Structures are given as C-alpha cells and as structure tokens.
Amino acid sequence: MDKERRRRYEQYRASVAGPVENTLLDEFGDGELDRAEFLRRATMFGLSASVIGAALEALGHAPLAFAGTERGTAGGRLRVGCIPPPAHGLDPHTYADTGSLVTGNIAGEMLNRTTSTGTLVPELATSWKSNAAATVWTYELRKGVKFQTGQEMTADDVVATFKRLVDPNSGSQALSAYKGVLSPAGVQKVDKDTVAFHLDAPTGGFPFLTSSTTYQAIILPANYQLGTFEKTPQATGAFKLTSYTPGVGATYQPFEGWWGGKPALDGVDLKYFSDDAAVVSALLGNQIDLINEVHVATGRALFNNPNVQIFSAHGATHRLVPMLTDAPPFNDFRVRQAVALSLDRVAIRKRLFNDLADLGNDTPFAPVFPSGVKLPQRHKDIRKARQLMAAAGKSRGFSVDLTTYKAFELPLLAQIIQRSVKEIGIRMNLKILTSTAYYAGSQLGPPKGWGTTPWLNTPINITDWGGRAIPNVYLTASLKSKGVWNASHYSNKRFDSLANSYIGSVSLKDQRKFARQIELLLQHDTPAIYPYFYFQLGGGAKRVRGYHADPQGLVYLSHTSLA
C-alpha cells in the first residue's frame, strides 16, 4: 500500500468514518470477520469501494477484484418462464407472491440491491450512512435517473414511495419488514438528492431493508396512481413493461433513458406457468430460455442435463414447521423438542434437495447469515425423543393433524415428517390443502389474535418462507410475541428483548453475542422446526449469459444477455 493511500485511509478513519464504520474496520482488523463477511458488512454500512479496497490492503488482503460480467453480443429477446403467475394486481407495494414480484422487478429498481453473494450494491442510491446509534440512515440518490415516463427522479419520489411502503393503511406487504422499524413520519427529504430515514428502533442492517430483499421497494414517481403499474411504464429499470395479460404473460422493451446505459437484450417475454412439469418441459423443449425458480424434487430433468445451466444462490429461503405453543399437544417444549429430534435432516436434505441446501438447526439463523453462531447440529435421536415424550407424560403418543399445501416439495416433506414422528408414537394425519385454502381466512395479527387462517392457527403446519438478507423479519414477524406471522403463538419476554437487542446492534460482535443467546433459547423452546435452508435455484439454456440467481427469487435481467 503506498503512503498516499494509507494517509487517505487514516484520514478517512479520523474525519469521515463514524463509530459504526470504525467499529467495522476494527473488527476486521482484529480478525473477527473474514473477508467475505467484511465485504458484506462494509457494503451494508455504505463504505465506498476505495475505502474497502484500502482496508483490505492495509490488513494484508488481496485487493478488490472487479469481475466484468461475461456478456454475449447477439441482442435477441429473452424468453422467461415464471412459475406461478401473479395472484393479484401489480402495484409494487402489494407484492406478496412470486409471480408478481418477478413481473414487477424486471422493470423496477430499488435504492440498492442485494447480490447473490449477500453484499449490497448501489442502485438508485449511490451511498448510505448511519448515525452512531443506527437510528438515522441518510441516502444520497443517484443523479440523472429518469423514470420511464421521462420525468427525473428526485428525493420527493423516494419519500412518496417509502411513505406508501410503511403506511399501515396502504395495504403494503412491506410492513413485514418495516413494522416497528420505520413509520411514515420517519421518511424525510433532506434536499433534492438526499433522503433520511429516522427509524423507530435502532437497526444495524437497515440498508438491506431498502434493497431487493424488500421486493416491494421499487421506486415510483411521487405522482404514481395506484393500479397503473401494468398500464403505463413508470419505473426506472432497464426494461419497461409494455404489455401484461393476467395468467398468460408480459412483454418488456428496453428503456432508452436507463441510467445504466443500453441493456444487451432487445426485450423480454415473460410467460406464466402453474405447473412445475410444464415449465421444465418448456425449457427442455426450447420454448423458453430461463426459469425463475426450479426445485430438485420437481425439476430433476434439469439437473445433470448438459443443455441446461443451473443458477444457484446461497440463501435463507426455508420451510418453517411451527407448532402451536399455546394449546395441547405442543404446549410442552419437551414434545416440540421430541418432534425436532425425530427428523433425520441429512437424509431429508439428500432426498428433497440432492444436498443443495444447508441443514437447519431450529433457529432462523441460516448458515448464510454471518451474525449467527454455529451451535452443535441437531440430529435424529429417537432414544432422547422418546425420553422427552415420556417426561412430558406422552409416552403413548397422540394424534394430531399436520396442515400444509400442495406446492413444491411441501407434500413430500409432510410425508417424511409423518413417518418420522411415528417412531415416537405420534399418529399424524396429513391435511394437504390448496395454497388458496391454506392462506385463506382472516389474518388479524396481535393484539386481536391471529384470525382464522390455517397457516397461523393449526397445531402444526409447514409454511414456505422467502429468503432475506438479514434475519430481522424472521425474528420479529414469526417469533416475537406480537409478531404478525407468529404461527407458533410463541410468547417469551426474554426472546422479545434479545431480538430487540440483536436488531439494534451495530457491531458483529454484539450481534453474535445476542444471536448466541437467541439460538440457545430457541433450541430449548423449539417453537418451530427449521429443517433446512435451501439454495435458490434457477434454470436456463446454455446461451443465457450474465444471469445470477437471486436469494430472494427475483429475476434481474439488466445485465443479462444471450450468446
């Protein structure tokens, strides 16, 4: 490292960097973080590439390498198969299902983006920075960004978009990420190119919540009219949505005014599928070039096929098996532990994912989260499980219904669980509903209870949970006493306070301290089983270039091309 760079680096630390940045740089210097974790957190806290590079060099690491995207030249239209079709309209703040988030996010962009390796890259914001307590985050917006309507993007547009996203009365699905973190009054314009977020509670990982992880956070013009997303192109992305037919498909044309230049593709044709076998056959039959999401259990034909490339993103997407902690038979933690100990997770991972998944350890801290602590892996232990059942006075077992729905590998997992708990005397009856029936009914949320919907009110069920770049939503929505998606009805004051401490921590050391306590507590209480965290997989023809699977299931095509 030359003298001049070191001088600039030290100057940055002394005058520009706040306590958040310096804590991170110290942690990296002390060896608390490895290189990948440092990069992830450095991008989260908004350190510039030059500072990150200087820090790496100062501590004897290889400099940052900027890999160019491998790019084809042919132009051409990319044909994308999307499963399943959007369930509702396309107003971005209402996205809750894969079909709509895929459709909207080909055209839309966020302030920043989470990459397939878990780092953050700038998009419509060029930098972000927090105060020492991680309660105020200030974002500098990219200059010269145009909406597809032709108008220029300013702080007013970002403020209007975020006020809608955090408004409890707007029907926003992004509240799962922002509830208790950000309120409408906290979204403030500083000047034409700067926005500040004044948070309700300290949140170290806040920049992830403005990124593609919150797939509803597409920036729209301040004068956006609800219900017009599919009618008028008005996002900022490389492609504009030019036609949309519900249940059939959508087409996109390149946006000439895109701030990123000219996309390589001549356009995108999106086609909806409702059936795994049909979309797989379409790719094998060269009717489409790319599938947004494939599964080992239902897409075996694609794996080891020489004409197909599989895109994989290590993520936190998982299946949750919550057990109702406030009613028999699962109101005794020993019974819940016994169920967890009856599962042979290694065999399940092999059978359902051909090992393309991480083992779960009954906490939401997926191995992909660096803030988690690796506790000893929970394995099948029938002897111990029987002892626990006996201690709980249930040595003769009991009958119970397990509810889930017919999609992906869920029915297969249900059958494996049913067979596994048979060994400890639990007679499990399976109720495999349609996805509509499974998510039907009211979802009032506390303090009114959890409504009537099966997925929040059945003794034991299996629910699919999307990936997130940080575990905050998993902790707040599915485990905190007042969590809106707390399907276990788990209520533990100590957990609530630990979760708050974890979310408010800025340093990795503190996060790990609280994460360890949370993990130990959750393994003891076992309000839910996390059997595995599977990799987000996509499939494509060999001629697709520059595409990466997204840990949240988005299809990002701005830098994709065809050979």
Partner 1 sequence: MSTIASPAAGSEARIARRETLRQLLRSPTFLTGAAIVGFWVFCAVFGFAIAPHDPQDQSFTPLLRPGGAHLLGTDNLGRDVFSRVLVGAGDILKVAPLATLLGIAGGTVIGLVTGYFRGLVDNVISRIVDAWLALPVIVIAVTALVALGASTITLIVVIGVVFMPIVSRTVRAAVLGERQLEYVQAARLRGERAPYAMFVEILPNVMGPIIVEATVRLGYAIFTVAGLTFLGFGVQPPSPDWALQISDGYSLLNDTAHQGNYWIVLFPGMAVASLVIGVNLIADGISRALER
**Which positions touch partner 1 (CB under 8 A)?**
275-277, 280-281, 284, 297-301, 304-305, 351, 406, 411-412, 414-416, 418-419, 430-434, 436-437
Taking the complex as a whole, the smallest distance from the CB of residue 420 to partner 1 amounts, in Å, to 9
Taking the complex as a whole, the smallest distance from the CB of residue 553 to partner 1 amounts, in Å, to 19
Using alpha carbons, select from 323, 98, 293, 131 the residue that is nearest to residue 215.
98
Q: What is the side-by-side strand order in the sheet with 249-254?
A: 239-245, 249-254, 267-272, 77-82, 290-291, 536-541, 308-313
Using alpha carbons, select from 91, 522, 554, 487 the residue that is nearest to residue 313.
554
Question: Whose Cβ is closer to partner 1: residue 196's or residue 297's?
Answer: 297
CA–CA separation, 247 vs 244, rounded Å? 9
Cβ-based neighbours of 502, under 8 Å, separated by 6 or more: 371, 475, 511, 514, 515, 518
Question: Whose Cβ is closer to partner 1: residue 284's or residue 390's?
Answer: 284
CA–CA separation, 160 vs 170, rounded Å? 12
* Rounded to 5°, angle at Cα 461 from 412 and 553: 70
Taking the complex as a whole, the smallest distance from the CB of residue 348 to partner 1 amounts, in Å, to 10
Question: Whose Cβ is closer to partner 1: residue 22's or residue 415's?
Answer: 415
Based on the number of CB atoms within 10 Å of its own CB, is 450 exposed (0-12), middle (13-18) or buried (19 or more)? buried
Eight-state DSSP code of residue 302? G
CA dihedral 278, 280, 286, 290 (to 10 degrees): 120
Taking the complex as a whole, the smallest distance from the CB of residue 316 to partner 1 amounts, in Å, to 25
Taking the complex as a whole, the smallest distance from the CB of residue 413 to partner 1 amounts, in Å, to 10
Taking the complex as a whole, the smallest distance from the CB of residue 378 to partner 1 amounts, in Å, to 20
**Strand 136-141 with 187-191, pairing:** unpaired
Question: Whose Cβ is closer to partner 1: residue 195's or residue 416's?
Answer: 416
Question: Whose Cβ is closer to partner 1: residue 283's or residue 529's?
Answer: 283
Taking the complex as a whole, the smallest distance from the CB of residue 271 to partner 1 amounts, in Å, to 17
Question: Whose Cβ is closer to partner 1: residue 39's or residue 280's?
Answer: 280
Question: Whose Cβ is closer to partner 1: residue 201's or residue 277's?
Answer: 277
Eight-state DSSP code of residue 538? E
Question: Whose Cβ is closer to partner 1: residue 194's or residue 305's?
Answer: 305
Question: Could you give the C-alpha distances from 315 to 385, 450, 485, in angstroms and in order?
Answer: 30, 28, 20
Question: Whose Cβ is closer to partner 1: residue 412's or residue 484's?
Answer: 412
Read off the amino acid at residue 459: P
* Rounded to 5°, angle at Cα 38 from 34 and 40: 125
Q: Following DSSP, what letter does each residue of 544-563 receive, concatenated? A: EES----TT-----TT-EE-
Taking the complex as a whole, the smallest distance from the CB of residue 301 to partner 1 amounts, in Å, to 4
Q: At what angle do helices 410-422 and 345-353 cross, to 10 degrees?
A: 150
Taking the complex as a whole, the smallest distance from the CB of residue 246 to partner 1 amounts, in Å, to 20
